[in-house]
A = this chain, B = another copy of it.
Amino acid sequence: MEFSVDQIAEILEGTVEGDGNLSLTTFGKIQEAGKGALSFLANDKYEPFLYTTKATALIVSNDLKLSKPINTTLIRVSDPYAAFSSLLEFYEKSLLSQKTGIEQPSFIDESSSIGSDCYIGAFAYVGEKCKIGNNVKIYPQTYIGDNCKVGDNTIIYSGAKLYKDTKVGNDCIIHSGAVLGSDGFGWAPQEDGTYKAIPQLGNVELEDNVSIGANTTIDCATFPDSPTLIKKGVKIDNLIMIAHNVVVGKDTVIAAQTGISGSVEVGDSCIIGGQVGMAGHIKLANRTTIGAMSGVSKSIKKEGEILFGHLAFNIQDYMKSYSIFKKLPEINRRLSELEKKN
């Protein structure tokens, strides 16, 4: 980017204090930003950096009072954090929107339809009877199997793989290496000790506003009419495993490397930490929070609970137990001494 301080101030409807002609080319944190950078001050904790920052300009509150002279040009607004965030967003969108058109070579089956203003990168593959919406960005080397549907404004980054029949809503983001629709891990043990595959005929469906992290895998459902379902607004981080027939409720957030076993139903507005594991066929009530690295082996029926632990229970109780776990050798000694006395 390249804007003057005055231009930015105009966009934000802010007031400039200092040199409005200076040129801004990047963003940065107040404590690290250098020449040409725009930063902001929204948290009092960072106020000392106000007088030492090397940022060319700072977005600050209308209410901020300076206690010393300052070297940096200020843009005063009513809410600095919101103003800064909206600029970042504006900047990001301006970058992303540059890609349009169909690069060659790419493979688009003639039975498929592509909406307007799409980007299809080189070496991308779109199978038979797919419906790709408007303003969709499909980056290079992406695979869209037969009979998939991708909604408007969705971005699919390089190398994501959508098996046949996958449905993706509007305004979704799917990061590189994510796999949607691989076979559910269903194996019927046979009498001779071998396993036979249980056919997995269902699909994966993402509702609107879903985000899927890099190298995450979501298996297809067993039956055609009950998809593995990620409801609207769900945010899923990298390297997560979501098994067949799982349903994740709306506005739930799941951190990296968590694994959800088959047929689990996660409620709405849950917060699931990283590296969590869930046993199959359980249900989590709405607004459940699970701490990182916890194992959940039973359904959680009460809404709003916070759980933690290898076999998770109430996080405060876990912490109390764990603090005594650390002292177990001492507990053992105390017990032995008492035994001697008795």
Whether B215 pairs with A215 at a CB distance below 8 angstroms is: yes
Question: Which of chain B's residues has its CB closest to A183's CB?
Answer: B175
Contact assessment for A88 and B201 in the assembled complex, using a CB-CB cutoff below 8 Å: yes
Which of B34, B159, B201 is in CB contact (< 8 Å) with A161?
B159
Residues in B with CB closer than 8 Å to A33 are: 223, 225
Query: Count of chain A residues with Cβ under 8 Å from any Cβ of B?
Result: 103
Q: How far is the CA of A274 from the CA of B278 in the complex (A)?
A: 9
Total identical chains: 3
Contact check: which of B26, B141, B332 meets A123 at CB < 8 Å? B141
In the assembled complex, the CB of A150 is this many whole angstroms from the nearest CB of chain B, namely 16
Chain A binding surface, main DSSP class: loop
Give the shortest distance, in Å, between A1 (CB) and chain B (any CB). Answer: 9
- A257 near B259 with CB under 8 A, answer yes
* A292 in the interface (beta carbon within 8 A): yes
* Chain A interfacial positions (CB closer than 8 Å to B): 26-29, 32-34, 37, 85, 88-89, 91-92, 103, 105, 107, 121-123, 125, 139-141, 143, 145, 157-159, 161, 163, 173, 175-177, 179, 182-183, 185, 187-188, 193-195, 197-201, 209, 211, 213-215, 217, 219, 223-226, 233, 235, 237-239, 241, 243, 251, 253, 255-257, 259, 261, 269, 274-275, 277, 279, 292-293, 295, 309-311, 313, 317, 320-322, 324-329, 331-332, 334-335, 338-339, 341-342
What are 24 contact pairs spanning A and B, CB under 8 A?
A: A27-B223, A28-B223, A88-B198, A92-B199, A105-B105, A121-B125, A122-B125, A123-B125, A179-B214, A193-B251, A194-B209, A195-B253, A213-B217, A215-B239, A217-B256, A256-B259, A257-B259, A257-B277, A274-B277, A321-B326, A321-B328, A321-B329, A324-B328, A324-B329
